[in-house]
Amino acid sequence: MSNSQYETYGTQPYETFDTFEAYEPSPAYDGLDGYDGPDRYDGPDGVDGWDVHPYGAAAGDTYRPAYETAEPLVPRQGTPETAVPVARPRVAGRAARRRRGRSADRPDTSVRRLLPRALVVAFLAGGTTAFVAEDKAVQLTVDGEPRGLHTFADDVGELLAEEGVEVGAHDMITPAPGAGIGHGDEIAVHYGRPVRLTLDGHRQEVWTTARTVEEALGQLGVRAEGAYLSAARSQHIGRAGLALDVRTERSVTVMADGRARTVRTNAATVDEAVRAAGVTLRGQDTTSVPPGSFPRDGQTVTVLRITGGRETREEEIPFEVRRVEDPAVFKGTEVVEQAGQPGLRRITYSLRTVNGVRQKPRRIGTELVREPTARIVKVGTKPMPTSVQGADHLDWQGLAVCESGGDPGAVDPSGTYGGLYQFDTGTWHSLGGTGRPQDAPAAEQTYRAKKLYTRRGAGPWPHCGARLHG
């Protein structure tokens, strides 16, 4: 069927639909001259030859027949974003005037035939208007990739679900998912990306919607001027994120050899910062902070010039004293069985001079030369006898006062005699005593003096012996 039986419209300025279905004319149509052959549609007076169809079809698209009693649709006045199609009463054109002239003698037949068809066209036009009003043209940009869409979604969240766009907690959606959608709106989805950031030695994981390293640094507020970056500024950040090491430029002052040097550096260690200041460490030289530590902004590092050597010294090791009980020795008596001997060790010290100041020697090694020998002392536990037959009745206290002034530890000026009764060592041992007499208890000294008296009488005390008899 030729399209000459249908009205052809131009391009609508709002949006374009597919070619509409062509409708067959009513069988009762009797060929009224409602069309102008190959000419364009005769629109209302003053609007002949429309270039714009209110539904937005392209020129050449086919539509329902335009019956002369149907009311054509024309655009409402306003901007393309706000205009919607509305019905406007048809104004007679040239074709309509010719038809009225030819069919003036049969008005009843044409009215009966055209009135139902006009109602159908008006109904279809109203439904299409509602359809067009619900449809919205929007632009959706997902991670920097824009695309134009037509949607019936009421809000952003519904549109994203409709388009299969999944978002997470770290993604950014503009406007918010609950915001409504209007014709011409722009919706943007920016995916979040994890960045394992080491900033000036501090490690942390942050999220960013930036797609390059440079954009991420800007979002995170990192001062990148003069900074060291482990990745190029233009490097793309994928959805999986990346690891990024950033060392910002810092001011470090290096004190060395009596001079201060301040440098701007993005060094990773104090040692690197010292070298950047033009200072060389030699031998045992070091710094006031660990050379491998991270240099902080405004930090002062002092270089320590170190010289020195080693020194070896020998030291005695004290011996221990072990006391052993002996039931063969009278109680209160101690006998040294083994003399103690100190040990010997050799110690090596490190000697250092730091920036001209001698430091306290530091022990760096020890060598054992000789083990110490313990001193062994026997401690008597045998009860001391208090009587000697034939000597108990004598005045032993008077003799002791005369010989030593009553002092058990007294020793004569020559060092030969000692104790209460001034025994010499040989006599003391012959009486069963051990050690020196002045070291024995007073009771033991008196007991052994009584034994000596029973052997030799008062002869051993030529000057004081008479005191024994009062």
Q: pLDDT (tens digit, 9 = 90+) per residue, 105-121? A: 444 444 344 334 443 44
Where does the pLDDT of residue 132 fall: very low under 50, low under 70, confident under 90, or very high at 90 and above? Answer: low
> What residue has token string 């005191």?
467
| Per-residue confidence (pLDDT) for residue 129, from 0 to 100 | 47
Give the tens place of pLDDT for each residue, 420-462.
Answer: 999 999 999 999 888 899 998 898 899 999 999 999 999 999 9
Average pLDDT over residues 66-76: 39
Q: Are 189 and 143 in contact (CB under 8 A)?
A: yes
Give the tens place of pLDDT for each residue, 381-428.
Answer: 888 777 888 888 999 999 999 999 999 999 999 999 999 999 999 999
Residues ≥6 apart with Cβ < 8 Å to 452: 421, 427, 431, 460
| Per-residue confidence (pLDDT) for residue 133, from 0 to 100 | 54
Q: Are 159 and 181 in contact (CB under 8 A)?
A: yes
Residue 88 has pLDDT above 80, yes or no: no
Q: What are the chain's domains?
A: 1-134 (no CATH), 137-190 (3.10.20), 193-247 (3.10.20.30), 250-304 (3.10.20), 308-378 (2.20.230.10), 385-469 (1.10.530.10)
Instruction: Average the pLDDT over each of 104-108, 150-154, 215-219, 332-336 and give the range with the smallest value.
Output: 104-108
| Per-residue confidence (pLDDT) for residue 55, from 0 to 100 | 43
- Percent over 70 (pLDDT), the chain: 72
| Per-residue confidence (pLDDT) for residue 57, from 0 to 100 | 42
Where does the pLDDT of residue 91 fall: very low under 50, low under 70, confident under 90, or very high at 90 and above? Answer: very low
Residue with the larger pLDDT of the pair 249 and 67: 249
What is the rounded CA–CA span in Å between residue 426 and residue 436? 10
First to last CA, the chain: 175
Residue 50 has pLDDT above 80, yes or no: no
| Per-residue confidence (pLDDT) for residue 51, from 0 to 100 | 42
Residue 174 has pLDDT above 60, yes or no: yes
What is the rounded CA–CA span in Å between residue 276 and residue 335? 75
Cα distances (angstroms) measured from residue 292 to each of 101, 201, 226, 261, 304: 106, 12, 22, 19, 15
Average pLDDT over residues 153-179: 92
Residue 63 has pLDDT above 70, yes or no: no
Residues ≥6 apart with Cβ < 8 Å to 263: 251, 252, 254, 273, 276, 277
